Structure 1
Amino acid sequence: MKEQFQAYVVRKDDQKGVTANIEQLKKEDLPNGDVTVQVHYSSVNYKDGLASLEKGGVIRNYPMVPGIDMAGTVDESVSGRFAPGDRVISTGFEPGVSHYGGYSEYARLRSEWLVPLPQGLSEKEAMAIGTAGFTAGLSVDALLQAGVTPLMGKVLVTGATGGVGSMAIAILAKLGFEVTASTGKKQQEEELLRNLGASEVISREEADAPIKGAMGKQQWAGIVDPTAGPALAERLKQVQYGGAVAVSGLTGGNQFDSTVFPFILRGIQLIGIDSVYCPMERRERIWNKLGGEWKPDRALALGVQEITLEQLPHTLGNILQGGAVGRTVVRVSSE
């Protein structure tokens, strides 16, 4: 382990407010944990963008190293689960929120937050998938567990050009689903969404259009919805009998006003997706699928860009403004 290493550190004081800069840290600066990881790659998520804001509501204490995702090699370990040289990934739990995260060349973590790097994935691919792709995998799994099959009809994916949406399209298409992608960037990104596997691309306005009455035409066998907001109520009216909706985000808002009719007349399911504290057994199962039969090859080939720590401020600002398309990985290690 190097005596000094780079990290992107967010600080807060009464005069300057919240500031973020690349700093040199030492081993003793790292928080407690039983595994030290040399971080090779991290990724950029909406939550990481919020961590850079004074009122983002993400960081619980300062200073903080953001980065809720990371992949790298175990450097030191006093854990029975991992040994030096093991390749691991971490998504969710406390890193980047209340524990130094992945925007650092080294991270000291609790072993129960770590997952062995699945066979079939490189560290860079794992971070291209990251929390967004893992959330997409959980959403697809939820639809499958609810009984949604390709034979039932179309699946709608909202926020299609974002990280969760783009990964969900690639996974669903690989599993044989007919995917309709909803986006606010139809003109600019329709070709990309079709290349990801969408068979149809519609505008956000089309997907969110108000439906007269308590119920609408049965259009969707399932919905992967990382946007939510008031329009979720309109989408629920269009889910066909026995269908399901997996909700994982709130970029469209955190409230919606619905009735019980879609649930009691069509027997649909509304399923909440939590990727942060997902139990380890399910976490490892989904990650292994993402490295195997669910690997989102199209998304990994088409929608991934790589940046350095120095480029983080611009990229974090862009994701907060809704300008992100696909996934962005951060090359953390300078070696």
Structure 2
Amino acid sequence: MTFKALLATKTGSKISAEVISMHEQDLMPGDVTVKIDYSTVNYKDALALSGYADVIKQFPLIGGIDFAGTVEASAYPGIAVGDRVVANGWGLSQTHHGGFAQKARVKGEWLVKLPDAFTTRDAMAIGTAGYTAMLSVLALEHGGLTPARGDILVTGANGGVGSIAIAILSTLGYRVVASTGRVAEHEYLSSLGAAQIIDRQTLSAQGPAITAEKWAGAVDSVGSHTLANVLARTQYRGVVTTCGLAQGMDLPGSVLPFILRNITLAGIDSVNAPQEARVQAWARLAKDLDLHKLERITQVVSLSEVPAVVGRMLQGQVRGRVVVDVNA
């Protein structure tokens, strides 16, 4: 049997991706075979297919760091034929064929059964970005932050992580401050639940090591000077989560916010998170994410459109979530 896939290849230093026909025997080892319904384009996918970051470790490889679909064959305990499943991270689009295809064969331990509240399309409208946003919210809660503690800042607010973080936090009763380079998107961010919108330029340049307290916590996907400035303005015993590096992977800050204000910086890893954390995150998404807001931030493209989406995403021209219908 054959299936469509977006295969990434590398010639010299140039990475290219093309939709081709592949055979099931081309799939990599695994104890579960999944008929994929949808994948999605995350920022990490854009880095991978553009070559801006060393994400893909071997070529040729099917891209896509996540997928959702229905199990066709399984030798893994607890995963049965007909189960609807979602996969995020692990080795997908790094060392193992990913979700930009109509078929996948993976380790059963990489899969989470999809909560009944979600369709497979919903699962990829959430995608790794939304699952990461939920892990971030869980970290804020673990640090003791409640809505009564004060504002929560969300940087990179128009992106996938930022958009879904705003939607979740506002539903939970937090007052959300959204930082974005596209302040014209006021209506969009407000519709997700942002109570205040600030220009990212107020955070993106080098600033003082510590300054006046502003927010109880933050969800940051930007890194570099932005994260350093976020930390410098976080309240006493606040919590800041970090999950991205859109501005850079450096952290040009100071220990002062940590030792004078006792704040917590929580790293969020979605790639190798243990199964229990994944199950908890998806269960909470089913409970705390407004599906009407999710639909508002979602657009759907075909496999052949993914390379163009990658280009727009790297230029900051994509807001919300981009679902890939692999069967379109």
TM-score, normalization by structure 1: 0.95
| 2:191 paired residue among 187, 195, 205 | 195
Tell me how far apart the structure 2 counterparts of residues 330 and 215 of structure 1 sit (CA, whole Å). Answer: 43
Distance 1:113 1:219, change over 3 A: same
Contact 1:68 1:91 in 2 (8 A): yes
CA contact (8 A) 1:184 1:203 kept: yes
Asked if 1:327 is matched to 2:325, the reply is no
Aligned-residue offset at 1:27: 0.9
- The one of 47, 50, 54 equivalent to 1:53 is 50
Counterpart of 1:226 in structure 2 is 221
Residue 233 of structure 2 corresponds to 238
> Number of residue pairs matched?
328
2:308 to 301, 306, 314: 314
Identity of matched residues, %: 44
The structural deviation recorded for 1:13 is 3.3
Please list the CA deviations of residues 148-194 of structure 1 after superposition, one character each: whole Å capped at 9, or x if unmatched: 1110111100000000000000000000000000000002x110000
**1:138 to 2:132 alignment:** no
| 1:69 alignment partner, one of 62, 66, 70 | 66
Structure 1 residue 34 corresponds to structure 2 residue 28: no
Mapped contact 1:161–1:326 kept (Cα < 8 A): yes
Maintained 8 Å contact 2:205/2:225: no
**Superposed counterparts of 1:172-211, under 5 Å:** 172-187=169-184, 189-208=185-204, 211=207
- Match in the other structure for 1:262: 257
Deviation for aligned residue 1:19: 2.2
Is it true that 1:164 corresponds to 2:158 in the alignment?
no
Contact 2:239–2:263 at 8 Å: present in 1 too?
yes
Cα distance change on mapping 1:53 and 1:207 into 2, 3 Å: closer
Partner-residue secondary structure (3-state), 1:230? helix
CA contact (8 A) 1:7 1:105 kept: yes
Q: Which residue of 1 aligns with 2:243?
A: 248
Tell whether 2:134 aligns with 1:153: no
Q: Given residue 324 of structure 1, which amino acid in structure 2 is its aligned partner?
A: V
Counterpart Cα distance in 2 of 1:89 and 1:316: 22
Would you say the 8 A contact 1:208–1:235 is kept in 2?
A: no
Aligned pair partner of 1:295 in 289, 293, 316: 289
Normalising by structure 2, report the TM-score: 0.97
2:19 and 2:254 map into 1 onto residues whose CA distance is 49
Q: Match for residue 274 of structure 2?
A: 279
Tell me the alpha carbon deviations over residues 49-101 of structure 1, each in whole angstroms, 9 at most, x when there is no partner: 12212453110101100011100000111212211111100001011111001
The alignment status of 1:86 with 2:83, answered yes or no, reads yes
Distance 2:221 2:53 in 1: 18
> Which residue pairs with 1:13 in the alignment?
11
**Residue identity in the other structure for 2:297:** G
Partner-residue secondary structure (3-state), 2:194: coil
Q: Find the aligned partners of 1:200 and 1:132 in 2 and give their Cα distance.
A: 22
8 A Cα contact 2:224 2:252, kept in partner: no
Pick from 208, 216, 231: which aligns with 2:211?
216
